[in-house]
């Protein structure tokens, strides 16, 4: 098997059009940590393909997150305190998958929703 050493610039070039700088840094660190913990070599091109094409990860602005998961948000809370409603939503999604918050965006790992764990906040 052939391996390629991937520098940060390469990683950013593979995924830079889809994610913010903060999300790119998180993803790179996340996969490096997985590689170190499991003592496995990982293929950055395969990971980039999984992220880009298969939608393994997606970055949402706060309003996009609210729109895509609006069925789980208390509408009154959204009107009264948007930031708190989004934080509640991110915590709820975090029970199902990885959710990482940045300035005004969230990185969410693809998952299959388990309805019984969700409620409207």
Digit-coded pLDDT (tens) for 52-84: 666 788 899 999 999 888 777 778 888 899 989
Apex 99 CA angle, 96 and 102, nearest 5 = 165
Same structural domain for residues 75 and 104?
yes
20-24, 87-91, 98-102: the lowest-pLDDT one? 20-24
Same structural domain for residues 46 and 65?
no
Same structural domain for residues 62 and 119?
yes
Say if residues 22 and 104 touch (Cβ distance below 8 Å).
Answer: no
Q: Tell me the backbone φ, ψ of residue 65, rounded to 5 degrees.
A: -60, -45
pLDDT of 64 reads 93
How is the beta sheet containing 99-101 ordered, strand by strand?
A: 57-61, 105-109, 99-101
Query: Which residues form the domain of 17?
Result: 1-55
Same structural domain for residues 76 and 119?
yes
């Amino acid at each position: 098997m052939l391996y390629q050493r991937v520098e940060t610039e390469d990683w950013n070039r593979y995924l830079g059009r889809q994610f913010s700088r903060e999300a790119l840094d998180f993803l790179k660190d996340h996969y490096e940590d997985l590689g170190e913990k499991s003592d496995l070599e990982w293929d950055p091109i395969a990971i980039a393909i999984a992220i880009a094409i298969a939608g393994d990860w997606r970055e949402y602005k706060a309003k996009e997150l609210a729109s895509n998961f609006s069925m789980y948000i208390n509408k009154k809370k959204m009107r009264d305190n948007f930031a708190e409603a989004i934080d509640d939503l991110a915590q709820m999604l975090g029970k199902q998958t990885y959710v990482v918050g940045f300035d005004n965006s969230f990185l969410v790992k693809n998952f299959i929703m388990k309805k019984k764990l969700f409620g409207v906040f």
